[in-house]
Amino acid sequence: MSWFSSVELGPPIEVFQLTKQFQEDDFPQKVNLGVGAYRTDEGKPWVLPVVRAAEKTLANDDTLNKEYLPVLGLDLFSSLSTKMLLGNDSAAVTENRAFGVQTLSGTGALRVGAEFLATYLGRTVFYYSKPTWENHRLIFLNAGFKEAKEYRYWHEEKHGLDIEGLLEDLNNAPEGAVIILHACAHNPTGCDPTQEQWGQIAKVIREKKLFPFFDSAYQGFASGDLDKDAWAVRSFVNQGFELFCAQSYAKNFGLYNERTGNLSIVLNNAAHIPAVKSQITWTVRGMYSNPPSHGARIVAHVLNSKDLFEQWRGNIQTMSSRIIEMRKRLREELETLRTPGNWNHITEQIGMFSYTGLNQSQSQHMVKKHHVYMLKSGRISMCGITPNNVKYVAASIYETLT
């Protein structure tokens, strides 16, 4: 007899399963466009030079030790992170109405924020975009939310944002519902609202008394400009919204496995901060007690130094411009081959991912026949495309569609 005999095999996580299949595949021209992680022109993972430099300095700092960090993490890290998101001159910063909590990357920030909202504000309903990053639903349900709802986002025919559907769905949301919004570089579609559309979204959120919870996993990575990519969050803050924002340093610092993130919390009254902070401390205490230090020390060290900060911006530029270049190349190749359909969206979309428009069976054909690993939804990671494989990827799409 075993206590565990009734446990059934769970479904695989698509993106990790694809990576495993890719690794086991011995086809020489195989391409992995599944995982959302930066690759160099040679298709290799990249440790940012500024991260290497910071690690060397930190390794030689004998004053650092392995004692526990506080429950809410390294103060310097979280305050610099919140400033980076909101801007140093943000009223929320100067009026001390905002603070940060160091978390286990972006996922951890979403989870801590969601659990706090469920526990202390009694929130039960949340909305996510259709489609969204596949983990939003699970994180919020595991955090205690009861009802997962979608708002329309991607318009299949238009290959762009379904703004009418989005506004209608938010308009019908119940008061107090938590709305997950991608701060920039929407995953998986690579399609963001325009500034005008963000204005319309903010208006409904205000009128319907909804709560905006931004997810910022790609600041700087999308356009190459940290301020530009924070525009939506800052515009909400400037309009006086109270909000949460989950920040990840996985992509823009390449710190994927260091689990380095921050939950920025913006209130409209500084007097509420001590109570909120003290209760979030209990949320974290019961979840993982306190966060790890390595990644947070690297980020704090870089954000706190003018020189290193500039170097980091250069590293971000390297990554974002390579991706933008690959978008151009892929579109050119597809158009040169006269691949059926319109490929403008490849260069119009932003960030790490592109929603190709390939359907499920076409995407699976790409994997099976061409060894080009991509999600069933037709999402590809632009980072996996390199000068060496772009022609092959385009030819594979061409063959699939003809």
- Name the minimum Å distance from CB 177 to ligand PLP: 19
User: Which of 51, 112, 217, 397 touches ligand PLP by CB under 6 A?
Assistant: 217
**Shortest spacing between CB 133 and ligand PLP, in angstroms:** 4
Is 225 noted as a catalytic residue in this protein? no
Instruction: Decide whether 169 or 215 has the Cβ nearer to ligand PLP.
Output: 215
Cβ closer to ligand PLP: 247 or 339?
A: 247
- Sole binder of ligand PLP in the list 245, 250, 346, 367 (CB under 6 A): 250
Residue 252 or 283 with smaller CB distance to ligand PLP: 252
Give the x/- contact pattern for ligand PLP in 367-396, rule: CB under 6 A.
------------------------------
In the annotation, is 133 catalytic? yes
Give the binding-site size for ligand PLP (rule: CB under 6 A).
12
190: left (phi over 0), alpha (psi -120 to 50) or beta: left
| 243-248 and 178-182 beta bridge pairing | unpaired
- Binder of ligand PLP out of 169, 192, 215, 258 (CB under 6 A): 215
Q: Which is nearer to ligand PLP, 135 or 386 (CB)?
A: 135
Measured from the CB atom, is 39 or 97 closer to ligand PLP? 39
**Which one is catalytic: 46, 133, 154, 312?**
133
Binding mask 79-108 for ligand PLP (x = CB under 6 A): --------------------------xxx-
187 touches ligand PLP (CB under 6 A): yes
Report the residue number, 79 or 381, with the smaller CB distance to ligand PLP: 381
Specify whether 368 is catalytic.
no
- Given the complex with ligand PLP, which of 34 and 261 has the nearer CB atom? 261
Q: Which of residues 257-296 bind ligand PLP (CB under 6 A)?
A: 261
Minimum CB separation of residue 36 from ligand PLP in Å reads 5
292-311 binders of ligand PLP (CB under 6 A):
none
For ligand PLP, the binding residue among 133, 153, 355, 392 (CB under 6 A) is: 133
Mind spelling out the 3-state secondary structure of the chain?
Answer: CCCCCCCCCCCCCHHHHHHHHHHHCCCCCCEECCCCCCCCCCCCCCCCHHHHHHHHHHHCCCCCCCCCCCCCCCHHHHHHHHHHHHCCCCHHHHCCCEEEEEEEHHHHHHHHHHHHHHHHCCCCEEEEEECCCCHHHHHHHHCCCCEEEEEECEECCCCEECHHHHHHHHHCCCCCCEEEEECCCCCCCCCCCCHHHHHHHHHHHHHCCCEEEEEECCCCCCCCCHHHHCHHHHHHHHCCCCEEEEEECCCCCCCHHHCEEEEEEECCCHHHHHHHHHHHHHHHHCCCCCCCCHHHHHHHHHHCCHHHHHHHHHHHHHHHHHHHHHHHHHHHHHHHCCCCCCCHHHHHCCCCEEECCCCHHHHHHHHHHHCEECCCCCEEEHHHCCCCCHHHHHHHHHHHHC
Interface residue with ligand PLP among 81, 248, 283, 381 (CB under 6 A) is 248
Between helices 49-59 and 294-303, what is the axis angle to 10°?
A: 110
**Residues forming the active site:** 133, 215, 251
Residues that bind ligand PLP (CB under 6 A): 36, 105-107, 133, 182, 187, 215, 217, 248, 250, 261
